Amino acid sequence: MSVDQYRTTFRACAINASRHKPESIKVSLQHLADATGDDERIDNYGSGELIESFEREVAAMLGKEAAIFMPSGTMAQPMALRIWADLAKTDYVALHATNHVALHEHNSYQILWQLKGCELGEAHRVPMLADLKAAARDPLAAILLELPMREIGGQLPEWDELVSQSTWAREQGIKLHMDGARLWQCPAAYGKSLEEIASLFDSVYVSFYKDLGGIAGAMLLGSADFIARAKVWQRRVGGTLYALYPYVIAAREGLAKHLPGLPERRQQARWLAEQLNQLPGISTWPAVPHTNMFRLHIRCQPDAFLEQGERWMHQHQVALIPPPYRTDADALHCEITIGDAFDVLSEQQWANWIKQFGKAMANTLNA
């Protein structure tokens, strides 16, 4: 049984415990059309009321002076680090071992943006103030911190620890940049507003499709001077597309639709993790999710698990365990992010399916 075949069956299931309810392209485009005002006009090379009003809305939400909409975070994040490096006249930046810029972007921040990275902390845990101080042995322009940290199951540093890191960085004259691809998950975990969290950082990147269901698109936020510099860089790297209005409208609607529900998604994730941790051979990382995402470690016979799991999904049209992002000789590693698809069933119905799944897969799991 291949992972690809398992993935195909997983995506075809009518009921899914992870992410948002799927829509056809036609339905999605119709929703965007319905959400567009009769008097709204397309943006043009980053200008126009449609895109600029949305930038102002998100900037106000995060308490920043200005913002710029961009096609992707892969463009936005190294751009932010490059701006801080130019201002500090040093190319050194500090990044956690699991940062997206290095791990999933083929080190573009070094190759394309000519930056030099200092590793921050250890891969299995959130960075602490001592890690920031250790990374600063070279003159640093900026430190990139991810909130929450995807590669370690959506974990977050304690609030007081994060405040101490921000205070220390500013005392040292080092800029703090947030990889906030999933920042929207954080207010429920911290009991703080988006503005309070963003106030600890000099620049912030957010994504509009990961939790908010947009098509694509990102935003970079900071001071007016920082965003003015970002606009120049966006033009340089070809990010000022002729029009971005479908992405902007989708982002705007996703923010309105999904942001209010994220506190409930966090509670659902914690409930689901508790249920899955009761199955032999399955454990979540972290044991109690910090946000509405977590990772799964499944001690099993991988081929047998995938084959039997695929048959079970095909029979019941219920998807509980996402396709693995890593397969070991005796384990699978998966990731779950709770979206509105979870609302299709009640907790009791989910509990019944989890119990049935556990029984069906018992002979493939290693306690």
How far apart CA 171 and CA 207 sit, in angstroms, is 29
Asked if 192 and 271 sit in the same domain, the reply is no
- 357 and 268 in a common domain: yes
Q: 160, 144, 46: which is closest to 98 by C-alpha?
A: 144
Provide the CATH number for the domain around residue 279: 3.90.1150.10
93, β-bridge pairs = 117, 142
Give which of 165, 22, 41 is closest to 94, Cα–Cα.
Answer: 165
**Res 2: pLDDT:** 84
Gap between the Cα atoms of 294 and 149, Å rounded: 10
The domain in which residue 229 lies consists of: 43-242
pLDDT score for 330: 95
Q: Are residues 82 and 209 in the same domain?
A: yes
Residue with tokens 């993935």: 7
287: amino acid identity, one letter: A
Hey, which residues does 96 pair with through a beta bridge?
A: 120
Q: Which two tokens stand for residue 72?
A: 């992707």
115-158 confidence digits (pLDDT tens): 999 999 999 999 999 999 999 988 999 999 999 999 999 999 99
Rounded-to-integer distance, Cα 178 and Cα 77, Å: 9
**Digit-coded pLDDT (tens) for 265-274:** 999 999 999 9
303 & 161 share domain: no
Nearest to 217 by CA among 354, 356, 54: 54
Residue 253 lies in a domain: no
Whether residues 273 and 351 fall in one domain: yes
- The pLDDT value recorded for residue 1 is 65
Low-confidence stretches of the chain (pLDDT < 50) are: none
Domain endpoint, select from 182, 210, 242:
242
CB 168 within 8 A of CB 118: no
Same domain, 71 and 7: no
Q: What pLDDT score does 354 carry?
A: 98
Q: What is the bridge-based pairing of β-strands 15-16 and 66-70?
A: unpaired
In-domain check, residue 32? no
Instruction: Give the number of domains in the chain.
Output: 2
**Residues 70, 10 share a domain:** no
One domain for residues 79 and 171 = yes
Q: Are residues 138 and 274 in the same domain?
A: no
